[in-house]
């Protein structure tokens, strides 16, 4: 059990660092108050987790430990739905209902679509 916790924790560390770097890069590149960095990280994380699950379902390429590292660890550390919730509250507090609606709708719809597409992509190539 301790080994599995270390595996997941290592993946979470790597995912958290990747999330920070990508979100920061996007935020510094875009001149908007819309939380584009978090949106892109969430959609990318959803696509990745769909692909990892697809690989696990269609092949023996990932050991159970590697699957936990990539899905629970890396993707869990990489996706930012807690940040998503906090940013939505901030948008609501600021009275920015358009961005709140757009951000929430796009995150949920595109996230679900990305998980499906990632899984289908893997199913097509394996």
Write out 61-93 in H/E/C secondary structure.
CCCHHHHHHHHHHHHHHHCCHHHHHHHHHHHHH
The pLDDT assigned to 83 comes to 87
* Total count of domains within the chain: 1
pLDDT per position as a tens digit, 75-125: 999 998 888 999 999 999 999 999 999 999 999 999 999 999 999 999 999
- Number of Cβ within 10 Å of residue 108's Cβ equals 13
**Side-chain half-sphere of 3: how many Cα atoms within 13 Å?**
3
End-to-end C-alpha distance for the chain, whole angstroms: 31
Write out the residue range of the structural domain in which residue 8 sits: 2-125
The pLDDT assigned to 82 comes to 87
Q: Return the closest-CA partner of residue 119 out of 76, 60, 56, 61.
A: 56
pLDDT per position as a tens digit, 29-88: 998 999 999 999 999 999 999 999 999 988 999 999 999 999 999 999 999 888 899 999
- Between CA 3 and CA 68 the distance in angstroms is 11
């Amino acid at each position: 059990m301790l080994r599995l916790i270390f595996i997941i924790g290592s993946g979470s560390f790597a995912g958290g660092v990747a999330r920070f770097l990508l979100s920061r890069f996007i935020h510094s590149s875009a001149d908007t108050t819309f939380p584009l960095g978090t949106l892109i990280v969430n959609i990318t994380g959803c696509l990745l987790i769909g692909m990892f699950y697809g690989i696990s379902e269609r092949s023996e390429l990932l050991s159970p430990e590697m699957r936990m590292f990539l899905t629970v660890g890396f993707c869990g550390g990489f996706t930012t739905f807690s940040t998503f919730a906090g940013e939505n509250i901030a948008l609501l507090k600021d009275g920015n209902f358009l961005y709140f609606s757009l951000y929430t709708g796009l995150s949920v719809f595109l996230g679900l679509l990305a998980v499906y597409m990632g899984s289908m992509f893997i199913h097509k190539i394996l």
